[in-house]
Amino acid sequence: MKAVVFGASGYAGAELVRLISGHSQFELVGVSGASNVGMALVDIYPHLIGTAAAELTLVDSTSLVDYVLNNAIDAVFLALPNNTAVEIVPKLLDTVRLIVDLSADFRLRDAALYERHYGFIHPRPDLLDVGVYGLCELNRSQLVGAKLIASPGCYVTAATLSLYPLIDERLISDKSIVVNGVSGISGAGRQRNVENLFGEIDSNVNAYGLSGHRHSPEIEQNLGATILFVPHVAPMTRGILTTSYADLTLEGLDHLGFTINGELERSSTAISYALTAKLEDFYSKDTFVDVLPTGQSPRTKSTLGTNRALISVTFDSRTKKLVSLCAIDNMIKGASGQAIQAANISLGFAEDEGLSRLGMYP
């Protein structure tokens, strides 16, 4: 199948190029990159040397749209800034078999949220119901045959995977969930910002988006819950770790076979094991989600270069709080790898085609 990538000069776009180059069913035939028009991909990303994609020349988005409209292209991947893909998708939706958008343009069901959280009035709210949300572990059946896929946010993926099964079985309260997220600097993109300089990032961890991060409504949409989300950037290139805190409900305790009494503190380990078992059961058929044994914490390093999500859960009897953690590679499971995974499902390929579970270490 012939594929093109819009935004191939950015980090997520470059990962799409790399993954498509190793995919047995895709042939990459066109790429765009607004700030690098006229350059060959290999001149920007030397690691692509030796691949068929290396010598492709970056064109502007308008030219690539025209190319798609005038050639038999099967799959379009968009790794563009927010409020950009929404102008391109309507032009191509009836022409190609599949469009996968990595921006936020089609993730939210409520069009009003775009003005509030992304600063623009959504020009095509009619397409919000057309796009299928691309979190594969939750929407696998809906993705089969999908024409437009809205690939989830990186923080959102980690937070949702670690919390959704617990919400779904009413084990935790859907009120006052706190999600702390830590990301590598690649999540900020390839822009030349002072904040991205080595001297600013090295030996420095800071929180941002304190007035309400734009990923918050997406997490709430997935969970049907109220959450407080606080993201942080850490001095690493790739990786996301979310640590989420929630109250275990009385109904949840009963469902797990426990009651609140003087023995609850002694039951802390047993409750943690029971919660872990619930997660293991929920993700038992998922190729890319691994639930760690009780007491183990997921590490971002363990997901480096993979499409895996590592999850663990524990219960703190003193505070009656549940702690659920998830680690992913923000550029793969949090972006380009998940987009390929969703495309595989839509097009009927093996779900793990072109994707790796085996990471790089150290």
The answer to whether residue 147 is domain-embedded is: no
Which band of pLDDT confidence, cut at 50, 70 and 90, is reported for residue 264?
low
Question: What average pLDDT does this structure show over 158-170?
Answer: 96
Report whether pLDDT(265) > 80. Answer: no
Question: What average pLDDT does this structure show over 81-92?
Answer: 97
CATH at 19: 3.40.50.720
Residue at which a domain ends, from 76, 95, 130: 130
Which one is catalytic: 3, 58, 80, 154?
154
Q: What is the per-residue pLDDT across 178-214, written as a single tens digit (0 to 9) for each?
A: 999 999 988 877 776 777 778 788 889 999 988 888 9
Q: Is 154 a catalytic residue?
A: yes
Question: What average pLDDT does this structure show over 324-346?
Answer: 98
CATH at 273: 3.30.360.10
Burial class (CB in 10 A: 0-12, 13-18, 19+), 340: buried
Number of residues assigned to the chain = 362
Question: What average pLDDT does this structure show over 74-100?
Answer: 97
Average pLDDT, the chain: 93
pTM of the model: 0.95
d(CA 93, CA 76): 10
**Residue 9 neighbours by CB under 8 Å, 6+ apart:** 31, 33, 34, 35, 36, 39, 41, 44, 58, 190
Please give the structure tokens belonging to residue 302.
């363990």
How far apart, in Å, are the Cα atoms of 358 and each of 84, 273, 349? 34, 26, 20
For the chain, what is the domain count?
2
* Residue 285 near residue 329, CB atoms below 8 Å: no
Which range among 168-182, 195-209, 214-228, 287-301 shows the weakest confidence by mean pLDDT?
Answer: 195-209
Q: Print the SS3 string covering 61-122.
A: HHHHHHHHHHCCCCEEEECCCCCCHHHHHHHHCCCCCEEEECCCCCCCCCCHHHHHHHCCCC
SS3 label, residue 33: coil
For strands 148-150 and 177-183, give the pairing: unpaired
Report whether pLDDT(344) > 60. Answer: yes
Which one, of 327, 329, 339, lies nearest residue 181 by Cα? 327
My answer on whether 176 and 69 are in the same domain is no
Q: What is the per-residue pLDDT across 298-326, written as a single tens digit (0 to 9) for each?
A: 999 999 999 999 999 999 888 889 999 99
